[in-house]
A and B are shown apart, each in its own frame.
Chain A
Amino acid sequence: MHVVDEFGVLVSAEISPGGGDGEDDSEDDRDESDDDETPSFSGVSDSEGSIHHTTATFSDIESDSVPSDLEEEEEDDDDDDDDDAIKSLQQAIEKASQKSEEDVVRIKKRKKLGLPTHFAPIVDDGEDIVPVKKKVTLDDIRAHTSSSFGTRSLARLDELEKRSKGKSEVVKSRLGRRLEVRVDRAAAYEIAKEEVGKWEDTVKRNREAEHLEFPLQRSGGAATADITGALDLGDELDSEKLVHGLEGREFSLAEVIARRNELRRMRELMFREEMKAKRVKKIKSKTYRKIHKRERERAQEIAAQLEGESGDEDHEDSYGRLVKHARERMELRHKNTSNWARDVKRMNLHKSKGTRDELEEMLRRGEDLTRKIEGDDDDISGDDLPNINDDEEATEEASGIMAMKFMREAEERLRKQNKESIDELRRMEDGRDGETEEDTDSAVKIINEGRRRYAPGAQESKYAAQESVEQSIEADDAPVGLERKMASIAVKDADSVSTISKTQTSKKGEPKSSKASNPWIQDVDPGSVAKGASVLSLSKDSTRFAKTEARLKRSRRKAKKAVQAVEDGEAEVRIDVNQILQIRDVHGDPDAEANPVNGEDSHVMMVHKGGRRAKPAEFQQRELVKRAFAGDDVAREFQEEKQKTVEDEGDKEVDVTLPGWGSWTGKGVRKPQKKFIQKIEGINPKNRQDSKLKNVIINEKAAKKSAKYTAGAVPFPYETREQYEHSLRMPIGKLWSTQATVQRLTKPKVIVKPGVVVEPLSAPFAT
């Protein structure tokens, strides 16, 4: 007889926080459901306490209590936790046993009095009464049930027993409801995840797609075409195509790859089959070959006969024949050199008639072939005859005495002489032309005063040089002898230069007329002017001798240069340069002398003047124009204006000192030291756009207008200004692009075909 009523309740109260009598709803629910399943002992229970877990074992309690504590733990840890729980349970039981000693005594008393002690199992071991951990079975209950107890409930118990006879275990209590739900949820999530994952590719693709057209394409024909195209490509791209196409169904990448591999394999097999068939087709039997060979030979024979009869043959045939002959000549096949022929000879087989005949036939054939070749060769040599006139070919084909070395050399010499004489004649012709042109030209130049930009002529340079000398004499009453000397040198130089240039032009054989008639003669070359300037800019303090020496040097250098230029083949330009400098001296422009590297002086004459219409006044005209505008110094004014603008737009300091503030009058009062100056930031002169442009003022403030047409910040998806502005670069309108481009650029992201039901995405590969 074991009584566990008190302990069972106690234990359960101790261990499970969620347990106990009606502590929470879920527990209640469970209790109720338990009551439904298990027989109720309400009738049996007395005032001492109700038995909730009649059939509950300790292990059951443990299993109930553990997960409540360790909800989030995984199953691996469960065993350890169970052990812990068991220990705590045992401790609790021991405690309970100590506590309940009094109760046990009380029950003992009851027993002694003969009162029923209900189901409390108490082992009576002499003095100690120890509660035994033992399952209460139905039999136990029945044994203790007197007939006075409700038979109805017993009957129910019987029924229960019958039902659970199959399994030895007792009905386990269910997991915590929340836990159950959670587990269910997790499982459901896994399944759902897997299911939804099937759409992942599709959704991703749709999301990334530039345009979507609903309903999504489902036409079978197009899809198959897509597939074949994709297979031909055979790279990663085609798989994408496959994903797109294929009867509009959605495929996962793995499936597509598998399919593609299969198709690839099929194709490979087909290819092999084909190759094999090709090879097999070529294989022919020996008899086949023999028959065909015989046929071919017969045809050839007939052809040869026909040929012999007609005597005339086609071009192609003749070509073929030539080839044949050539081959014959190379191979010597029909001479007595073949193995067979040699064998015949060696073994004296030629005595037999058949073999001899064959041998003879072969030799005749060879003879035939060689003879025909000779005939052809004769023809060719006949054709070559007229070419002998051509000297070069003649030398190549020369033979006999003409091929000998000294003869060839003599011939070469002769030819060279001839060529030279012809060239000379030609050159003379050209040269005379050039000279005549030049002569007339120089005559014109003498007439034209003040014209400085013409090509150098002998007369002009002489004239200019002399004039320069005169100028210098006028300018300073220096040792006249030296000056004259120098001048004469200069003149000489000029002379020599001109003659050199003349010879040069005549030598070059270039028609001078084009140059002379062309009035667009290049002006000052800045570099060379600079050189000239360096000479001219001898300091005023330097001695006269030094000056003259410098001039002398210059003139010498000039002459040298001219000579060198002749050698280099660019004489005219350089001479021209120096000429201009001298002429500038003539006109006595102080500006030009002081600063000859002025930008404006390096202009090219722009206007076209006719060759014959000479305009002597033109140069002076320009001078006049220059003088006319000499008064208003526009450049200086402009620079001043620029300076002013820079200052206006630059940093400014404003004195914001209040007048009278802090100023006191009276004896011994110091002046207020502090001045309040506010600095208004402007544009740094160095950062100005026009800082490096001399004749330009750029308004820095102007750029700040029209803010309403600009964006305040870089719009969202873009990270930098460049990216954003880069995207704006392409105009969309049809004025700037082709029709197709405009349509592509303005295509909406989603297009829904009107009047068509857009169905939800079907599961890919769903059957």
Chain B
Amino acid sequence: MSAVETSERIGSTEARTTNGALDILGSIYSRTLTNRNVRIKDRKLRANIKRTDQKYKDAIRAAKSTELLLQEDAGFLEAEGMEKTYKFTQDELLKHVDVTTAHKGFELKLEHFGPYEIDYMRNGRKLLLGGRKGHVAAFDFREGTLDTELHLNETIRDVKYLHNDQYFAVAQKKYVYIYDKSGTEIHCLKKHIEVTNMEFLPYHFLLATVGNAGWLKYQDVSTGEQVCEFRTKMGPTTSMTQNPYNAIIHLGHTNGTVSLWAPNTSTSLVRILSHKGPVRAISVDRGGRYMATAGADAQLKIWDVRMYKEVHAYYTPTPPTALDISDRGLLAVSWGPHVTIWKDAFRTKQKSPYMTHLNPGSIVNDIRFCPFDDVLGFGHDEGFTSLIVPGAGEPNFDALEINPYQTLQQRREAEVHGLLNKLKPEMIALDPNFIGNVDPRAPEERKQALVLETTDETDKKISNADAKLQPKAKMRGKNSALRRYLRKKSKNVIDERKLRVEAALEKEKRMRQNSLKRRKGLPVDERKLGPALARFGKSQ
């Protein structure tokens, strides 16, 4: 049996063409070329465009040349002779991998609070577990250090990490709560009721939730405002995922449709009839090209999301419960107690899986690939299991983008940068490159749309301003120490202290009134002279 072997880089398959020039332009770094056969008349413009083209080519070449610096190579399990990769068990695999990798394959037996929902942090460092019966745990699974562990004594439907490991959201029985790293409850999102699924859009700082009522709600976690909410009109939502390429939310419904949503449109952008039964799980690959959907009709379908066309369809013996696609394009499907992992399942129809795993006796509930690692975690009825899946994770990371080895300082910087570069919710569209392009509409039509948009915004602002309460004259100091003294003191006795107290009270009152008048813009009767000189002035 062969151990994990390095094979050719899958990511660069696109770049592997015969022609040298095309090789560069067809690489992963290139962007779509528009058809420009028409000769440009203006010489200056022609020269300009030619120069831009050259720059573009140079940029691609330079980007491609940096591949030299990538330290790691990705590889998959390779079978020799009669062997089949799907026959390799985890035990066999663990014998052949290095110690640190073997350390990542583990099992947590948590029999009392299952089934478990899981979530990995974006950089793959931290793991968040949420047991249906109220158990929440956040920890670094490599080092085995626990961040927090909570027993909420309430149903938990989903857990989600926010932009870093400092905050996570938990969809509980009624509301969604946000906790910090130490397990302190920070926010209760009372507008998100009976949420079943959550997604976090890291570049927009948006937490999208959807629940049994079928309302899709976007909450900006940086400002705390709810950005928008839409009624799906399709009953309870059964599954949810985001397209990492364009931040579109994909929802699966009980009637077998998958709908695509963006915050700027109140209706779904696209609806796809995918299954005959409820859509149990959806997953979109990193490039935003393929979508996998699993339905209760025991089918698994692969869709080309760019064309909205079905590519392949598979049967599963029992209806699949969860799906996930790894960074390197492995597709993990769980059905009953089984986990099946498929390689290259999008382009070509596969006949046999890449790996399989049986988790006897407990049904798999949630399944996730760990980013930047060859690890697949799944939560099931009796806890959590971590599998080693060679070739699942992206071996090379961009430390400026997502850094698995982030220090405290880097985390802080990343947070600030993330907030500075935060994208607006309206920028989410099916084509994320639409910004700056020419509006295809006629100018008048566009103008109208612009006016509408701006008026909407201003209306909103005005209404918000109205909603804010006017500052009112608070009856402060009603029970101050001075008053209390006067109250307690017998009325008929007038001594020096009482006089002082009364004067002080009088002064306080005047100042209070003056400040109120000033706030309202009314004239203030101010005594020009201070208390020392007032007696020399005119008596009032």
Residues of A at the B interface (CB closer than 8 Å) are 208, 210, 514, 518, 520, 522, 599-600, 602-609, 615, 618, 621-622, 625-626, 628-629, 632, 634-635, 637-638, 641, 690, 693, 695-699, 701-714, 717-730, 734-738, 740-741, 744-745
Nearest-CB distance from A398 to chain B (Å)?
41
Interface centre among B41, B315, B454 (most CB of A within 10 A): B315
- For window 30-63 of B, CB contacts with A under 8 Å fall at 31-36, 38, 40-42, 44-45, 47-49, 51-52, 55-56, 58-59, 62-63
A687 to chain B, nearest CB (A): 13
Kindly provide the distance from the CB of B376 to the nearest chain A CB, expressed in whole angstroms: 16
Q: Which residue of B lies closest to A521 (CB)?
A: B351
B148 interface residue (CB < 8 Å to A): no
Whether A604 lies near B349 (C-beta < 8 A) is yes
Among B267-296, those with CB < 8 Å from A are: 267-277, 296
Q: List 29 A-B contacts (CB under 8 A).
A: A599-B313, A602-B313, A604-B315, A605-B315, A606-B315, A606-B333, A606-B340, A607-B317, A608-B352, A608-B356, A618-B317, A625-B296, A632-B255, A635-B276, A697-B271, A701-B265, A702-B262, A709-B427, A709-B436, A712-B446, A717-B48, A719-B41, A723-B36, A727-B52, A729-B34, A730-B55, A730-B59, A740-B62, A745-B59
Cβ contact within 8 Å between A712 and B314: no
Structural contact, A710 and B34, CB atoms closer than 8 A: no
Known: A606-B314, A737-B62. A637 touches B255 (CB 8 A): yes
- Say yes or no: A712 contacts B449, CB within 8 Å: no
**In the complex, chain A residues whose CB is within 8 Å of the CB of B271:** 638, 641, 696-697
Q: Evaluate contact between A728 and B446: CB separation under 8 angstroms.
A: no
- Report if A600-B299 is in contact (Cβ < 8 Å); known contacts: A699-B269, A723-B40, A735-B400: yes
**Which of B216-224, B437-445, B474-482, B494-502 lies at the interface?**
B437-445
A705 touches B265 (CB 8 A): yes
Specify the chain A residue showing the minimal Cβ separation from B449.
A707
Complexed CA–CA distance, A615 and B338 (Å): 14
In the complex, how many angstroms separate the beta carbon of A677 from the nearest chain B beta carbon?
23
Residues of B within 8 A of A712 (CB): 438-439, 443, 446
Q: Which residues of B contact A719 (CB under 8 A)?
A: 40-42, 45
Query: Please, how many angstroms separate the alpha-carbon atoms of A615 and B317 in the complex?
Result: 9
With contacts A702-B262, A718-B45 taken as known, whether A711 is within 8 angstroms of B437 at the C-beta atoms is yes
Instruction: Determine whether the beta carbon of A695 is less than 8 Å from that of B273.
Output: yes
Residue B367 interfacial (CB < 8 Å)? no
A622→B315 contact, CB < 8 A: yes
Whether B86 sits at the interface, judged by CB under 8 Å, is yes
A residues in contact with B41, CB < 8 Å: 719
Are A725 and B62 in contact, with the CB atoms below 8 A? no
Given A709-B434, A725-B34, A725-B437, A738–B66 Cβ distance below 8 Å?
yes
Identify B426's interface contact among A522, A705, A718, A720, CB under 8 A.
A705
| In-complex Cβ contact of A728 among B35, B314, B437 (8 A) | B437
Q: Is the Cβ of B449 less than 8 Å from the Cβ of A634?
A: no
Q: Least Cβ distance of B69 to chain A in Å?
A: 10
Besides A632-B276, A706-B453, A723-B40, 16 other A-B contacts (C-beta < 8 A): A603-B313, A604-B315, A607-B316, A618-B317, A625-B297, A629-B296, A629-B297, A637-B255, A697-B272, A703-B430, A707-B449, A709-B434, A711-B439, A723-B36, A723-B45, A738-B66
Chain A minimum-CB-distance residue to B276 = A629
Q: Is B82 an interface residue (CB 8 A)?
A: yes
Which residues of A have CB within 8 Å of B273? Answer: 634-635, 638, 695-696
Q: How far is the CA of A70 from the CA of B319 in the complex (A)?
A: 104
B28 to chain A, nearest CB (A): 12
Cβ contact within 8 Å between A514 and B400: no
CA distance A615 to B36 in the complex (A): 59
The answer to whether A210 and B51 touch across the interface, beta carbons within 8 angstroms, is yes
Whether a CB of chain A sits under 8 angstroms from the CB of B505 is: no
Q: Which of A690, A696, A727, A730 contacts B49 (CB 8 A)?
A: A727
User: In the complex, A724 Cα to B438 Cα: how many Å?
Assistant: 8
A236 to chain B, nearest CB (A): 17
Closest 10 CB pairs of A and B: A606-B314, A520-B351, A695-B273, A710-B439, A702-B265, A629-B276, A638-B273, A697-B271, A738-B62, A707-B449
Residues on A with beta carbons closer than 8 Å to the beta carbon of B38: 720
Set A208, A603, A609, A721: member contacting B438, Cβ < 8 A = A721
Quote the shortest CB–CB distance from B392 to chain A (angstroms). 17
User: How far, in Å, is B493 (CB) from chain A's closest CB?
Assistant: 73
Residues of chain B within 8 A (CB-CB) of A745 are 55, 59
Show the binding face of B for A, using Cβ within 8 Å: 31-36, 38, 40-42, 44-45, 47-49, 51-52, 55-56, 58-59, 62-63, 65-66, 82, 86, 255-257, 262, 264-265, 267-277, 296-300, 308-310, 312-319, 333, 335, 338, 340, 349-353, 356, 398, 400-401, 426-427, 429-430, 434-439, 441, 443, 446, 449-450, 453-454
Contact A698 B55 (CB under 8 A): no
> Which residues of B are found within 8 Å of A698, using beta-carbon distances?
269-270, 308
Whether B59 lies near A741 (C-beta < 8 A) is: yes
**Contacting B436 at CB < 8 Å: which of A514, A600, A710?**
A710
User: Per DSSP, are chain A's interface residues mostly helix, strand or loop, or mixed?
Assistant: mixed
- A734 to B454: give the CA distance in the assembly, Å: 33
Chain A residues within an 8 Å CB radius of B270: 696-699
> Which partner residue on chain B sits nearest A718 by CB separation?
B45
Q: In the docked arrangement, what's the CA distance between A714 and B298, Å?
A: 51
* A699 partner residues in chain B, CB cutoff 8 A: 265, 267-270
* Known A632-B255, A719-B42, A737-B62; contact A695-B55, beta-carbon cutoff 8 A: no
Closest to B30 in A: A729
Contacts of B62 in A (CB 8 A): 737-738, 740-741
Neighbouring B residues of A603 by C-beta, 8 Å: 299, 313-315
Query: Which residue of A is nearest B261, CB measured?
Result: A702
Assuming the contacts A600-B313, A737-B59, asked whether A722 and B351 have C-beta atoms less than 8 A apart, the reply is no
How far is B33's CA from A728's CA once the two chains are assembled, in angstroms?
A: 11
Look across to chain A and name the residue whose beta carbon is closest to the beta carbon of B358: A610
Which residues from B are CB-within-8-Å of A609? 317
Tell me how far the C-beta of A638 lies from the nearest C-beta in chain B, rounded to whole angstroms.
4
Closest to A617 in B: B317
Q: Which residues of B contact A709 (CB under 8 A)?
A: 426-427, 434-436
- Residue A693 contacts which of B255, B309, B437 (CB distance < 8 angstroms)? B309
In Å, the complex CA distance between A621 and B257 comes to 23
B253 to chain A, nearest CB (A): 10
A292 to B356, CA, bound (A): 84
Closest beta carbon of chain A to B121's beta carbon, Å: 20
> Which of B65, B267, B400 lies at the interface centre, i.e. has the most chain A CB atoms within 10 A of its CB?
B267
A487 to B333, CA, bound (A): 43
A697: chain B residues within 8 A (beta carbon): 270-272
Q: Note all chain B residues with C-beta closer than 8 A to A735.
A: 398, 400-401
How far apart are the CA atoms of A696 and B315 in the complex, in Å? Answer: 22
Complex: A736 Cα to B64 Cα, angstroms? 11
How far apart sit A629 and B350, CA to CA, in the bound complex (Å)? 27
Question: What chain B residues lie within 8 Å of A518 (beta carbons)?
Answer: 351-352
Chain B residue with the shortest CB-CB distance to A600? B313
**Inter-chain contact B453/A608, CB cutoff 8 Å:** no
Chain B, residue nearest A520 (CB): B351
Instruction: State which of A626, A705, A710, A727 has its C-beta within 8 Å of the C-beta of B264.
Output: A705
User: CA of A690 to CA of B47 in the docked complex: distance in angstroms?
Assistant: 40
> Closest B-chain residue to A717, C-beta based?
B45
- Interchain CB contact (< 8 A) of A723 among B49, B65, B300: B49
CB distance from B434 to the nearest CB of A (A): 7
Cβ of A621 and Cβ of B267 under 8 Å apart?
no
Q: Tell whether A744 pairs with B55 under 8 Å between CB atoms, given A629-B297, A634-B256, A693-B308.
A: yes
A280 to chain B, nearest CB (A): 47
Q: How far is the CB of A493 from chain B (nearest CB, A)?
A: 28
Q: Are B429 and A726 in contact, with the CB atoms below 8 A?
A: no
Are A707 and B439 closer than 8 Å at their CB atoms?
yes
Assembled-state Cα–Cα distance A723/B443 (Å): 19
User: Within 8 Å CB of B277, what residues of A?
Assistant: 625, 628-629
A736: B residues at CB distance < 8 A:
63
Which residues of A lie under 8 Å from residue B441 when comparing CB positions? 704, 707
